[in-house]
Structure 1
Amino acid sequence: MPAVPTASWQDYLKSLPLYLLPHHAISRLTLRLTRLRTRWFKNAFIHWFTHQYDVNLDESLYRQAQDFEHFNAFFTRELAPGTRPIEGDACTVVSPADGHISQIGDIDDDTVFQAKGHSFSVTELLGGDTQDAGLFRNGSFITVYLSPRDYHRVHMPLEGKLRRTIYVPGRLFSVAPHTTRVIPRLFARNERLVALFDTCAGPMAMVLVGAINVAAIETVWAGLVTPPHRRQIEARDFTDSDIILQRGSEMGRFNMGSTVIVLFGEHAVRWQSMFAAEAPLRMGEAIGSAENPR
């Protein structure tokens, strides 16, 4: 098991100014800029971003800047068919996204490990509902960080029937590795959308965490969830809607990058031992399995 990274003075230097920034105002500006259709601007922006972050467009369905109507269409680009095979059988848990593992492991009662010296509770992550949080007490979790260069659609780790969503307002701190090592309770402080599903491994929560410059979070069943940014928690019941998403199918996307956290209940899944913090992931890659399939 690799050593858990600790915060450096450079991490503090880069992260602490974030407390002073107008997160939502910056993200509203980003929303507008990334949807400009001015051809020279969006093409130049795409070219710069591709080279700056070493984006691999060979896997994209469209590969030329002029093929995208605006920068956000490029950022949330669709992959070419066959580039992300879905591994395993019906109760193999697959990675929900391309990215790197921020953390993976067991939930300690109600506590999720964020980084050395920092953790947060499942209860606050899910918006304060103790009944929802109780489903995942002593369960398992994985936190996946999507860097700017990554594919930014989020997919289902298992087939699931949507039961409930919770929109939780909050800040929009960066979720880059240096901020997770510095800012306490980061993922429970940022704006986020929680989606609760019933799966063959029991209850599963997928938490899409917003971040600075993440100007929008979408789901396939509701479209744009944020913006607008609200001040109150909003829960929606989908029990009677019969929304069922297949394993590996798209469930949502970040319009600009962020983090997704997946939670399972106690004795629900077993993670593959090869995966640990900082390991790279590809969407559809097998990362675990249901221990007692239902």
Structure 2
Amino acid sequence: MATTSSARPLKSRLWAWTQLFLPHHLISGLVFRVTRWRAPWTTWLVRRFARTFGVDLNEAAEMDPAAYSTFNAFFTRALAEGARPLEGDEGSWISPVDGRISQIGHVQSGNLLQAKGRDYTVLELLGGDEELAAQFADGSFATLYLSPGDYHRVHMPVTGQLREMVHVPGRLFSVNTGTVAEVPRLFARNERVVCLFDTADGPMAMVLVGAINVSAIETVWAGLVTPSPQRQIGRWRYAEEQGLSIRLARGAEMGRFNMGSTVILLTRPGVDFDPAWQPEMPVRVGQRLQAGD
């Protein structure tokens, strides 16, 4: 029987508040191990998952389900060459992920919109660094949700020089629509990896937000960042004079989720996203976020 419109919010509320009592990291740690098992049923699971979530394996670099030794290898699959052409010129900002727009627009005096009636601050999101948060206080933001069936590698929206990476420990609430609408300050409470870049348009932050069952977040320069036993904020700075110069081109891979989650993109004032992009719209890697000429 179909779920009625009045029952759906109740179901979402119950699931959201049940999560307050769940052992988030224990559950995600179990998922971490299970998805890396070399199990005889992996091919069956890959085929079943692809059918259930509408995964188009024809886009993948490896199209044969039997070629994936673990479920995580399938989940973090690469795309075939040319599957995501980059729109616009070198200076135009593009989507870093396949997914759906959760929210997009301008930061309002340091506040980000999470969902209708709920917001949180850039300061909270970036781990309490006031000097850093001030750079984005009146800029633009895009919150991009990756569902289980999406491609799970994260790419550069514009060419940038890595300045700093910050690991902010936290909870692992689900980031689906219902939970985001119910749990206050969710993105500022969940574990996340903040990647700070210098670009031709000024500073940029890409925040990779963890979630329940997101058993690992990786970057191309550091490898596995989470899970981590550290319960304090960790910082890594990348300076050319120290021989740690990392520059990534527009469209290049910068990281990946090992299960679905959310990326929050922050820009300085003056970088404006096309108002045609609205919440709930699907988006793919390489699609232009700024208005065309």
Aligned partner of 2:62 in structure 1 is: 62
Alignment coverage as a number of residue pairs:
283
Decide which moves more: 221-230 or 203-212. Answer: 221-230
Structure 1 unaligned blocks of 5 or more = 1-6
Q: Which amino acid aligns with 1:283?
A: V
Q: How does 1:2-41 map to 2 (within 5 A)?
A: 8-38=9-39, 40-41=40-41
Maintained 8 Å contact 1:163/1:198: yes
Q: Let me know the Cα RMSD of the aligned residues.
A: 1.4
Separation of aligned partners in 2, 1:229 and 1:110: 30
TM score, norm. by length of structure 1: 0.94
Q: How does 1:219-238 map to 2 (within 5 A)?
A: 219-238=219-238
Aligned partner of 1:288 in structure 2 is: 290
Separation of aligned partners in 1, 2:106 and 2:11: 29
Per-residue CA distance 1:230-277 (angstroms, 9 max, x = gap): 20000111122210000000000000110000001112x121121010
Q: How does 1:113-124 map to 2 (within 5 A)?
A: 113-124=113-124
Q: Which amino acid aligns with 1:102?
A: S
Per-residue CA distance 1:169-193 (angstroms, 9 max, x = gap): 0000000111111110000000000
Aligned partner of 1:93 in structure 2 is: 93
Separation of aligned partners in 1, 2:255 and 2:77: 13
TM score, norm. by length of structure 2: 0.94
Aligned partner of 2:275 in structure 1 is: 273
Aligned partner of 2:145 in structure 1 is: 145
Maintained 8 Å contact 1:99/1:281: yes
Aligned partner of 2:192 in structure 1 is: 192
Per-residue CA distance 1:112-144 (angstroms, 9 max, x = gap): 000011111000100000011011011100000
List 4+ stretches of structure 1 deviating above 2 A. 7-10
Q: How does 1:158-197 map to 2 (within 5 A)?
A: 158-197=158-197
Match for 1:243 among 243, 246, 253? Answer: 246
Aligned partner of 1:264 in structure 2 is: 267
Decide which moves more: 83-92 or 147-156. Answer: 83-92
- Is the partner of 1:93 in helix, strand or coil? coil
Aligned partner of 1:4 in structure 2 is: none
Maintained 8 Å contact 1:169/1:229: no
Separation of aligned partners in 2, 1:229 and 1:281: 34
Q: Deviation of residue 88 (structure 1)?
A: 1.0
Q: Which has the higher strand share?
A: 1
- Report percent identity of matched pairs: 51
Structure 2 unaligned blocks of 5 or more = 1-7
